Amino acid sequence: MRCPYCGNFDDKVIDSRTLANGDAIRRRRECEHCGYRFTSYERIEERQLMVIKRDRRREPFEREKIERGVARALEKRPVSQMSMENLVNEVEDQAAFLGRVNREIPASVIGDLVLEKLGAMDKVAYIRFASVYRHFEDLDEFVREIQNVGGRASQSGGESVETGS
């Protein structure tokens, strides 16, 4: 592997660790020419999971898109960064599992997975995400969604979302 500092190809592995339940290996390396230490990661390369968009186009799955959408929905909400990362990891894992056969998954399935996880985590974030994801056309659709999520919260013993008049 080429040293990122001097460009030399001679290095030695100092330490190796298994990551992500054995799906990756982290290696600490040291350049034998300049002594610079750096980290490399080794992962199994699988065929890319493709997302089928509403207009039937296909594009590669991008975890970052889910992270951005969830981060926007959870902005200024009392949810830890770790909880947000866990949510994104769970959605990514479920999407990979659901798309394992033909390596494709509809975008609507991913959106529904995010909504399901957000609904269990934070009702306000759920409504924020749903308003963008479901393309609410008017206030009535927005209010219906708030009532739906409020109904689910009271059925599951959680707090219901109040709608002011």
Instruction: Give pLDDT tens digits for 53-82.
Output: 999 999 999 999 999 999 999 999 999 999
Nearest to 53 by CA among 65, 70, 40, 37: 65
What is the three-class DSSP state of 106?
strand
* 145 DSSP β-pair partners: none
If one compares 158 and 49, the residue with the highest pLDDT of the two is 49
% residues pLDDT > 90 (the chain): 60
Q: What's the angle, vertex CA 68, arms to CA 61 and CA 50, rounded to 5? A: 5
pLDDT more than 70, % of the chain: 87
Contacts of 116 (CB under 8 A, 6+ apart): none
Domain map (residue ranges) of the chain = 11-43, 50-155
| pLDDT confidence bin for 151, thresholds 50/70/90 | low
Whole-prediction pTM:
0.60
Burial of 91 (0-12, 13-18, 19+ CB in 10 A): buried
